Amino acid sequence: MIKFYRKTATIKAEQFDGTKQSADQLGLFKYRGGWYLETLEGSMLVSNGYWIATGVNGEHWAIADDVFKKTYAELPVIPENVAYIIKQAKKGDYKLGWVFHATYLGIWRVSVGNWIRTHSDVFARAWLDGYVVEEDK
C-alpha cells in the first residue's frame, strides 16, 4: 500500500545570487567558469538562483529555485510573548486544542489572546512545525 509523507526536518537555506560575494558567503568555489558546492556526494554545480540548504547535521546541498519553492515553506514569525505561550504549554504537555480553548476563555494577556485569535492558522503552524521569534523593532 502506498503511503504519503511530508517532510518534517527544519533546514536553513540561502539563495545564491550569482555574485562572488554570495559565493564566498555560501562556501562555493569556482571551477572551469562555474560555481560549485562541496556536498556529501561530491561537487555540485550551482546556478544563479539556486538555494543552498544546510541540514541538521551540517550537510549542504543545492536546490533549484522552482523545486525549493514547491518543497519548503518559511517558518512562521511570531511575537516573543506568543512564543512563550507555546514553550510553556508544550512544557506542561498541553495540547493545541487546549491552548485555543484557553485563548477564547481569556486566560492569556489580551494582546496575546488577540494575536492568537487573529492569526490562528499561523499559530497552529508555529505549534506544529516550529517558528522564528520576530525581532524587536
Looking at the structure, tell me whether residues 96 and 125 fall in a common domain.
yes
Name the band, by pLDDT with cuts 50, 70 and 90, for residue 19.
Answer: very high
Model confidence, pTM: 0.73
Identify the domain boundary among 71, 87, 105: 71
The reply to whether 19 and 43 lie within a common domain is yes
Question: Is 4 within the bounds of a domain?
Answer: no
Per-residue pLDDT tens over the stretch 55-73: 878 889 999 999 999 988 8
In a domain, 18, yes or no: yes
Q: Which residues form the domain of 33?
A: 12-71
Residue 119, domain member (yes or no): yes
What would the 3-class secondary structure string for 46-84 be? ECCCCEEEECCCCCEEEECHHHHHHHCCCCCEECHHHHH
Q: Is residue 134 over pLDDT 80?
A: yes
DSSP state of 136: P
Report the number of distinct structural domains present in the chain. Answer: 2
d(CA 119, CA 121): 6
In a domain, 120, yes or no: yes
Residues 65 and 116 in one domain: no
Do 83 and 126 lie in a common domain? yes
State whether 44 and 63 are in the same domain: yes
Q: Judge if 57 and 100 occupy the same domain.
A: no
- Yes or no: say if 86 and 126 are a contact pair by the CB < 8 Å rule: yes
pLDDT confidence of residue 137? 65
